[in-house]
Structure 1
Amino acid sequence: MSEQKQEYITEKEHVEEKFDVERTSVILDEENSPIPEVAAIVPNTDDPSLPSLTFRFWIMATGFSVLISFCNQFFWFRQDPISIGMSVVQLLAYPLGKFMARVLPTGILNPGPFNIKEHVCIALAANCASGTAYAMDIIVIQRVFYGQNFGFLANFLLILTTQLLGFGLAGVLRRYLVYPAAMVWPANLVQVALFSTLHKDEDLARGQWSRYKFFMIAFATVFLYEWIPTFIFPVIGALAWVCWIKPESIVVTQIGGPSGLGFGVITLDWNVITAWLGSPLVVPWWAQVNIGIGFFLIAWILVPITYYTDVWEAKKFPIVTPGLFRDNGDSYDATAVLTSGVLNETLYEAYGPLRISTFFALTYGIGFAGLTSMLSHTWLYHRHKLVAQWKQSREHSEDIHHKLMQAYPEVPDWWYIAIFVSMIIVAIVTCEVWDYKLPWWGVILAVVICCIFVLPVGLITALTNQMPGLNIITEYVIGYALPGHPIANITFKTLGYISMTQALTFVGDLKLGHYMKVPPRSMFWAQILGTLIAALVNLLTADWLLSSQQGVCTTSVDFPCPYAGTFYSASVIWGVISPQRMFGSGSMYNVVNYFFIIGLILPIPFYYLKKWVKSSWVEFIHLPVLLTATGMMPPAQAMNYTNWLVMGFIFQFFARRYHAEWHLRFTYVLSSALDSGTAFCVLISFFIFTNRNVSMPNWWGTRTDLCPLDGNSYTPPAAIPTSS
């Protein structure tokens, strides 16, 4: 702690040398951000004397990072995953910080009142720990579906490199995506508003509830309620009344079954509602309308038409599934065509080609269209803003927030560069020493793709809050470069796609710290702490579940791993079979390539429609959001979308319009309470009942055969015994 105290004293001396408080107060009276939304929400004041990396920070940041990374990795294996986000940590850390400030002895353990900068650093660390490492998909499907286990060290290094490589890029991107005022990062404004609200006294009327009282009551209520759909009465998690009318009919169960098109399925389980799309209480209504239209056109119009007209022999397979099949409808066993993890041409010719459901093929096509529509939409609507931002970034124009940040010593560039270079080296060594079958040039190529796209995608994200993914591009590139190599394909995809995503996630957090005037070096260590904890805890949690629970990702009802199942299917489609065989000339699925062109062209008529038709509803048409509406299907199901949209209508339309004051005060707080209450209920239920093989006595409310056909009879491949 003495080193921490000395660092704080040195930083404070630096602040006092560069920052004149009296002069600042004059500047702040005159200056504010040129962006109206930022000026309205982000405070243009700062107190450089507030400490950030305090003892309280290290304790709470470590504790919350461990808790949130364990919970999110644990829930990742469930059919309807739960994700605990930053807002939950924001709300829980505040009273705990206040409590520690009250009970700890004054001094280095307790340097004063719990302050907003400590709070932000805790939330930043936990946010870095909240995302389940994408590389876990590689490790899981290796162990379950490919019978490989390279051991703890290889797995840890793979996770670490894919999580931290983007962190090195984030440091380079600061000058272009953090410092300029034009780089707004709209999602951060919600977090700024919540931080500011918590750290100022609420002006309450007589009898009015505070946000914290509301949070605690809502949290306790949902915690108690969730025992009903989780354990006592699970049927209410999917009330498929349409299917119950005629459960022996395949068509009825395809249309009204929970795993089919989900028409009329009602869920009373918050976990099911938020599993794939997040909380509907925080997504703007205009975006939800676009998602709803996209879902309706794709899932309830296009999919039934193509299925019942037997496009691509659709009726051989379930209507909604990410499964892999042979031509006769049996499950496709990819290991039957592999030798030492590589496609064997002779075995492939004997075993036969890979077939996928019409729904799955269409989702790839819609994904192609969504990617190219993002490019044309951004060019049509935002090119002038993007060019202006780029020029502003090059000119290093400063707003008041950037000026205030000059009070603090910056993180040296070589810190970030050292992390970036070392992670590339570790990635190459990991892929070469262990049998990932991705050569050194593949690692370099993945990093190059990431570096090419990270700035333009970052510009789009900072302005529009839309982040185009590189998963399709990376799968295509390595699928042609190394056909027949599934593990190399998904490793390349992770290095190229997730490194960019991680870089922009880190940059977004840096912008939040920039808004809140957190010293850059404090942000650096907070982000490193959360990332390292998450890498270790994610791996330990997954290893524990895979070792202790039977049938994880295959036959387990509690842990079916929908993410890993879809990831495995992608590894076979793009890696084992390769895009040339799957979508190339002569393939029955070749037509989906035209979706690239459709997506590129489609925004153009809507762009001119907005110019010609002066109507408010036209202004809210957003083709990229509409086309990517079903991007989570699979593994998401139709019922997740329909119930999510209903809840969105209640809170983001009805409550916002007719109960605006209540909506403004409590909607975000309610969302956090619902998420955290549900998560803790499911977690405790697992350790009390599921982990001890204790189940609810059989009665009608626990039946799983109410829709026996359900339009989806796909059985995943059996687990393969792993070999080190």
Structure 2
Amino acid sequence: MATPNDEKAPVIEGAPTHEPVTKDASKLPDYVVEEDTYKVEHDLVITGDDLANVQGTAEQLSLEETRDILRDVIKNHENDQNFPIQVLHSMKEFVANHDIMENPEKYHTLILEMKVEAALIKDDSPYPEVRAVVDNTDDTTLPCSTIRAWTIGIIYVSAGVLINQLFYIRQPSITLESNVAQLLAYPAGKAWEAWVPSWEFTLFGQKHNLNPGKFNKKEHMLITIMANVGFTTPYTTDIILSQFLPQYFNQGYASHFGYQILITLGTNFIGYGIAGLTRHFLVYPTHCVWPASLVTIALNQSFHTGSDSPVSGPLKRIYSTTRLKLFTFAFFGMFVYFWFPGYIFQALSFFSWLSWIAPDNVNLATITGMNNGMGYNPLPTFDWNTLIYDTGHSPLVLPFFYWVNLFMGIVIGSFIVLGLWYTNTYNTGYLPINTPRVFDHFADYYNVSRAIDNRGIFDAAKYESYSPPFLSAGYLTVYVFFFAIYTCVLTWTFLYHRHEIKRGLQNLFKRGQRNSLHSDVHNRLMAKYPECPEWWYLLVLLASIGVSLGAILGWPTYTSAGVVFYGIALCLVFVVPVGIVNAITGFEITLNVLAEFIGGAWNAGNALCMNYFKAFGYVTCSHTLRFSKDLKLAHYAKVPPRHTFAGQMVATLVASFVATSILNFQMTQIPGVCTATQKDHYTCPGINQFFTAAVLWGTVGPKKVFGQGGMYTALLVGFPVGVILPLAIWLARKYFPKQSWLRDIHPPAFFYGGIQFAPYNISYVWPNVIVSYLSHVWLKKRYTAFWAKYNYVFSAALSSGVAIAAIVIFFALQMQHVSIDWWGNNVIAQGCEGTPCVLHTLAEGEYFGPRMGDFH
């Protein structure tokens, strides 16, 4: 453990009350012989350090105490796919077998295992993933909210959001992730530690030191949390640019800084108030692991942990390499390697080798193509960046059952896509099979200006003389799975997690008894620090409502104030179900499609109003989950809650003003911004897509597309399917309890697989299944200590190497329009992989779909 540079001995909180914990695996209870040790470690998926760490507690537990702990564990983790199923079976056997109490000598090994597991629950975490990177102790003397941390954090937040905002509208764009700030914060903190003088002074009655000593892991984590919330480009960028620019809605008032900052602050802060209220559901409970947070903690630990114990691993070797050394070598290795798939030899990234056999063969490209097909390819990529395509989700981090369910969902979805396309259902055969673009009945991109008046309001006469909107087979499938996932997540959480939600409600209303129902070691350690009262979060919520209403009502937005409260209501319905799924599996179910659907139906014909519906309906829940994840990150890292709250608030405030200032620069100082001919490539592909979606679903409206008599009404079958599948799995598990494989079926993750289409496909998902199996099944089971020591650090190193290499390539070469023209880069765009092929073509002057006058 790292300690501050002072003369006081650190106060370590959280260690068991018996003899001091040792990390020496040889000092085990006398009754634990070598065979028992191996069996306990293997059966419970724990390391020798884990076993040594809880030996004292395990010895002191009586059979009755052990049984009481395990009864509670069974109740809490019965439906928890992250909890090892074999351990759960052993627990049930122990609790149900009354002969154990009368004849304990006959069940020596089982008793030993169950005492160790009970001790783990009491003094550590039941999850090997958490134990691998999260300390079960806390040094309360480590300074956290220091001038050093605040200065570095604010500088990095300002620089990060400036770059992200500036290049958000450029093609290709560039995005700095918070792991870049985490990497760069360490040398900055160490430089401060070495060069800044130690000057102590008093401010507002409190003593501060300009250099409090060693740069420690709590300061580092506070900076990272600030970057997590501060690096994000405000969602209102899309709204404001589409309002202001003449090629869109051409509303001059959108250039007013007061309007911009009010709407930005409103949408950026509205999630905080709800995040504070969801702590009892998404932060305190043990089962809310938030897998992506473990990589951040692992990277933090690699910088601040002085030594690592040797571990046995593959090839029958002992590995003594430290985590920091592994991270360094893997980081630089990936930094060098990524230049090949990312720039020099891009075919390594999109290794669609089957379609290269006959690039113009429509059927071959449709089935095997990675760019424009279904991606049936056993060896599709050699690029780590392709594996983490889904918002950085690493197969080394998210659990194996998630990737299997995701893969099954996208495979089933591919059959639907192929069926729609090859049968020309909904005229999809005239369109590319897997694109998110919207088309007219001439198979051209839909020109929304031909269906609206000069106010951006729906014009029925113009619409009827033009065309209804048409979607590709892949995009139609995405909508079916989106509709299904919304009802599925509500049904799933009710069936399997209603007890956890009930406990959260009970704890929420237990004033003065924080964490009374969440008594794991991390909650006990965090109880040492003052918690942020709920009224702080409520005050932030009220303030964000106020500034949002000020923006909407203070300018001619043609929007009701009800959109703000609609966003809050939608969030309150979905945030806990969606949050529980996110906290357990690591993926987020976004509400953007549901917000579009409801907003467009509520205010049909008004695209501007639909934009606000979408913003508040989607952003409120998304930000709540993002802030909750950071609260859990601080919870694991033992950053005091009030420091976390202040860090999130300040970082978001700074980022809002910096991003809005850059937005003003983009709107007024970049000539031809968001036009196809903009000389510096500020062509705004995301804004174009946002505007098209706004007009399509806000102006044309979902009633015309999905309502009674609409072309795509049948797609609404997704809503009942989303209820039926989780209910069927629940009934199957109830009537076939011995079929343990049913426990690994996760319907929300299954439906999430079908959402990956348009533009992604199977090629992006399949490799993750293999990598995740090797990590979370094969390696973790056989070499638990090796996996625990290196897995998350290795994942962080690979992702960080890609991020830094991509930044260097972008600024050094791509911005200068320097490219390499050779087969290894050109083959990925040959034939149907370059220009999407279609099944049917139109003769000159023909169009498909309803005849003119038959659609309204």
Shorter-chain TM-score range: 0.7 to 0.9
Is residue 303 of structure 2 the alignment partner of residue 202 of structure 1? no
AA in 2 matched with 1:382: H
Is residue 324 of structure 2 the alignment partner of residue 212 of structure 1? yes
Q: Structure 2 matches for 1:321-400, cutoff 5 A? A: 321-339=435-453, 340-395=455-510, 396=513, 397-398=515-516, 399=519
Q: Structure 2 matches for 1:350-499, cutoff 5 A? A: 350-395=465-510, 396=513, 397-398=515-516, 399=519, 401-402=522-523, 404-411=525-532, 413-455=534-576, 457-458=578-579, 461=582, 467-499=588-620
After TM superposition, give the deviation of residue 471 of structure 1 in Å. Answer: 2.6
Once residues 549 and 252 of structure 1 are traced to their aligned partners in structure 2, the CA distance between those partners, rounded to angstroms, is 44
Deviations 1:530-556 (A, max 9, x none): 223433455566777787698868689
Partner of 1:230: 342
Match for 1:61 among 153, 157, 166? 153
AA in 2 matched with 1:614: K
Once residues 383 and 650 of structure 1 are traced to their aligned partners in structure 2, the CA distance between those partners, rounded to angstroms, is 33
Is residue 269 of structure 2 the alignment partner of residue 146 of structure 1? no
Deviations 1:75-108 (A, max 9, x none): 7668897765555544553454344323332232
Larger displacement relative to structure 2 (335-344 or 99-108): 99-108
Specify whether residues 182 and 457 from structure 1 end up closer, same or farther in structure 2 by C-alpha distance, changes over 3 A only: same
Once residues 157 and 563 of structure 2 are traced to their aligned partners in structure 1, the CA distance between those partners, rounded to angstroms, is 32
Once residues 559 and 709 of structure 1 are traced to their aligned partners in structure 2, the CA distance between those partners, rounded to angstroms, is 27
After TM superposition, give the deviation of residue 228 of structure 1 in Å. Answer: 2.5
Match for 2:804 among 673, 680, 691? 680
After TM superposition, give the deviation of residue 492 of structure 1 in Å. Answer: 1.4
Partner of 1:51: 143
Is residue 707 of structure 2 the alignment partner of residue 584 of structure 1? yes
Kindly indicate whether the alpha-carbon contact (under 8 Å) linking 1:562 and 1:635 is maintained by their aligned counterparts in 2. no
Kindly indicate whether the alpha-carbon contact (under 8 Å) linking 2:437 and 2:445 is maintained by their aligned counterparts in 1. yes
Once residues 672 and 397 of structure 2 are traced to their aligned partners in structure 1, the CA distance between those partners, rounded to angstroms, is 37
Kindly indicate whether the alpha-carbon contact (under 8 Å) linking 1:80 and 1:271 is maintained by their aligned counterparts in 2. no
Partner of 1:100: 192
Kindly indicate whether the alpha-carbon contact (under 8 Å) linking 1:61 and 1:125 is maintained by their aligned counterparts in 2. yes
Give the TM-score taking structure 2 as reference length: 0.72
Once residues 59 and 564 of structure 1 are traced to their aligned partners in structure 2, the CA distance between those partners, rounded to angstroms, is 34
Partner of 1:121: 222
Is residue 384 of structure 2 the alignment partner of residue 261 of structure 1? no
Deviations 1:143-165 (A, max 9, x none): 49625462262444333221111
After TM superposition, give the deviation of residue 709 of structure 1 in Å. Answer: 2.9
After TM superposition, give the deviation of residue 461 of structure 1 in Å. Answer: 4.8
Partner of 2:826: 703
AA in 2 matched with 1:482: N
Partner of 2:354: 242
Question: What SS is found at the alignment partner of 1:281?
Answer: coil
Once residues 375 and 783 of structure 2 are traced to their aligned partners in structure 1, the CA distance between those partners, rounded to angstroms, is 31
Give the TM-score taking structure 1 as reference length: 0.85
Once residues 172 and 771 of structure 2 are traced to their aligned partners in structure 1, the CA distance between those partners, rounded to angstroms, is 17
Larger displacement relative to structure 2 (469-478 or 597-606): 469-478
Kindly indicate whether the alpha-carbon contact (under 8 Å) linking 1:88 and 1:673 is maintained by their aligned counterparts in 2. no
Kindly indicate whether the alpha-carbon contact (under 8 Å) linking 1:322 and 1:569 is maintained by their aligned counterparts in 2. no
After TM superposition, give the deviation of residue 189 of structure 1 in Å. Answer: 5.4
Once residues 639 and 46 of structure 1 are traced to their aligned partners in structure 2, the CA distance between those partners, rounded to angstroms, is 43
After TM superposition, give the deviation of residue 282 of structure 1 in Å. Answer: 1.3
Structure 2 unpaired stretches of 5+: 1-9, 20-56, 58-118, 200-208, 311-317, 839-856
Kindly indicate whether the alpha-carbon contact (under 8 Å) linking 2:485 and 2:751 is maintained by their aligned counterparts in 1. yes
Match for 2:432 among 318, 342, 346? 318
After TM superposition, give the deviation of residue 599 of structure 1 in Å. Answer: 1.2
Identify the structure with bigger relative contact order (alpha carbons < 8 Å, sequence gap 6+). Answer: 1
Kindly indicate whether the alpha-carbon contact (under 8 Å) linking 1:438 and 1:492 is maintained by their aligned counterparts in 2. no
Q: Structure 2 matches for 1:68-83, cutoff 5 A? A: 68-70=160-162
Once residues 72 and 614 of structure 1 are traced to their aligned partners in structure 2, the CA distance between those partners, rounded to angstroms, is 51
Specify whether residues 572 and 658 from structure 1 end up closer, same or farther in structure 2 by C-alpha distance, changes over 3 A only: farther
Specify whether residues 401 and 708 from structure 1 end up closer, same or farther in structure 2 by C-alpha distance, changes over 3 A only: closer
Structure 1 unpaired stretches of 5+: 1-19, 715-724
After TM superposition, give the deviation of residue 263 of structure 1 in Å. Answer: 3.0
Deviations 1:447-476 (A, max 9, x none): 333344445554565566565433333223
Partner of 1:163: 268
Match for 1:36 among 110, 126, 148? 126
Partner of 1:712: 836
Partner of 1:295: 410
Specify whether residues 82 and 653 from structure 1 end up closer, same or farther in structure 2 by C-alpha distance, changes over 3 A only: farther
Once residues 601 and 280 of structure 2 are traced to their aligned partners in structure 1, the CA distance between those partners, rounded to angstroms, is 36
Partner of 1:4: none
Once residues 297 and 51 of structure 1 are traced to their aligned partners in structure 2, the CA distance between those partners, rounded to angstroms, is 52
AA in 2 matched with 1:348: Y
AA in 1 matched with 2:236: A
Specify whether residues 695 and 176 from structure 1 end up closer, same or farther in structure 2 by C-alpha distance, changes over 3 A only: closer
Larger displacement relative to structure 2 (522-531 or 666-675): 666-675
AA in 2 matched with 1:529: V
Partner of 1:17: none
After TM superposition, give the deviation of residue 197 of structure 1 in Å. Answer: 5.7
After TM superposition, give the deviation of residue 526 of structure 1 in Å. Answer: 0.9
Is residue 252 of structure 2 the alignment partner of residue 252 of structure 1? no
Is residue 732 of structure 2 the alignment partner of residue 609 of structure 1? yes
Deviations 1:185-228 (A, max 9, x none): 56545655654565333235598322222222222222222222
Partner of 1:275: 389
Specify whether residues 176 and 64 from structure 1 end up closer, same or farther in structure 2 by C-alpha distance, changes over 3 A only: same
Q: Structure 2 matches for 1:500-579, cutoff 5 A? A: 500-538=621-659, 564=687, 567-579=690-702
Once residues 451 and 434 of structure 2 are traced to their aligned partners in structure 1, the CA distance between those partners, rounded to angstroms, is 25
Deviations 1:43-72 (A, max 9, x none): 454444332121220232124324544565
Larger Rg: 2
Deviations 1:410-455 (A, max 9, x none): 4455543333222222212222344443222333333333344445
TM-align CA RMSD:
3.7
Specify whether residues 80 and 215 from structure 1 end up closer, same or farther in structure 2 by C-alpha distance, changes over 3 A only: farther
Question: What SS is found at the alignment partner of 2:695?
Answer: helix
AA in 2 matched with 1:686: F
Once residues 104 and 209 of structure 1 are traced to their aligned partners in structure 2, the CA distance between those partners, rounded to angstroms, is 32
Kindly indicate whether the alpha-carbon contact (under 8 Å) linking 2:295 and 2:796 is maintained by their aligned counterparts in 1. no
Once residues 240 and 463 of structure 1 are traced to their aligned partners in structure 2, the CA distance between those partners, rounded to angstroms, is 33
Once residues 21 and 267 of structure 1 are traced to their aligned partners in structure 2, the CA distance between those partners, rounded to angstroms, is 49
Once residues 319 and 134 of structure 2 are traced to their aligned partners in structure 1, the CA distance between those partners, rounded to angstroms, is 30
Structure 1 vs Structure 2: percent identity of aligned residues?
32
Kindly indicate whether the alpha-carbon contact (under 8 Å) linking 2:262 and 2:550 is maintained by their aligned counterparts in 1. no
Question: What SS is found at the alignment partner of 2:449?
Answer: helix
After TM superposition, give the deviation of residue 370 of structure 1 in Å. Answer: 1.4
Kindly indicate whether the alpha-carbon contact (under 8 Å) linking 2:345 and 2:824 is maintained by their aligned counterparts in 1. yes
Specify whether residues 588 and 26 from structure 1 end up closer, same or farther in structure 2 by C-alpha distance, changes over 3 A only: closer
Once residues 637 and 82 of structure 1 are traced to their aligned partners in structure 2, the CA distance between those partners, rounded to angstroms, is 23
Is residue 212 of structure 2 the alignment partner of residue 111 of structure 1? yes
After TM superposition, give the deviation of residue 319 of structure 1 in Å. Answer: 0.4
Kindly indicate whether the alpha-carbon contact (under 8 Å) linking 1:71 and 1:683 is maintained by their aligned counterparts in 2. no
Kindly indicate whether the alpha-carbon contact (under 8 Å) linking 1:81 and 1:276 is maintained by their aligned counterparts in 2. no
Kindly indicate whether the alpha-carbon contact (under 8 Å) linking 2:372 and 2:433 is maintained by their aligned counterparts in 1. no
Deviations 1:102-147 (A, max 9, x none): 3332232211222232122112111112444333333455549625
